Amino acid sequence: MEFLKSWFGRAFTYGFSFGVFLGILSYVMRVVVPQASVFSDYVLVLAYFMCYPIYIAVHKVLGGLGRPRGVSIVYSVSFIMWITTYEVIMRYLVS
């Protein structure tokens, strides 16, 4: 668990987890409310931009996440994992 003790490890892990959460949420929104695709897109983009306040809250609780590079890592990793998780679910698990 040495990886999680560094600011990079915490930022990467948080970004990874949040991205997977958004990917699963994207799939659930598409299945549960298929006619509201525009609304679900707005909700998911809002959730993505809420990543920063959530990140700061996690920083207050866990500490060590407040570096500017950490914010960049969180946004980058969470976006990549969001798209990747959604695509994997839609292309491989559902079909």
Per-residue model confidence as pLDDT tens for the chain (95 residues): 677 777 788 778 888 888 898 888 888 877 877 776 655 667 777 777 777 777 677 666 656 555 667 777 777 888 888 888 888 888 888 76
Helix boundaries (H) for the chain: 7-32, 37-49, 51-62, 68-88
Residue 30 has what pLDDT? Answer: 79
Number of domains within the chain = 1
Encoding tokens for residue 13?
């892990």
pTM above 0.85, yes or no: no
Structural domain range at position 45: 3-93
Residue 62 has what pLDDT? Answer: 59
Residue 38 has what pLDDT? Answer: 59
Do residues 7 and 64 lie in contact, with contact meaning Cβ atoms separated by under 8 Å?
A: yes
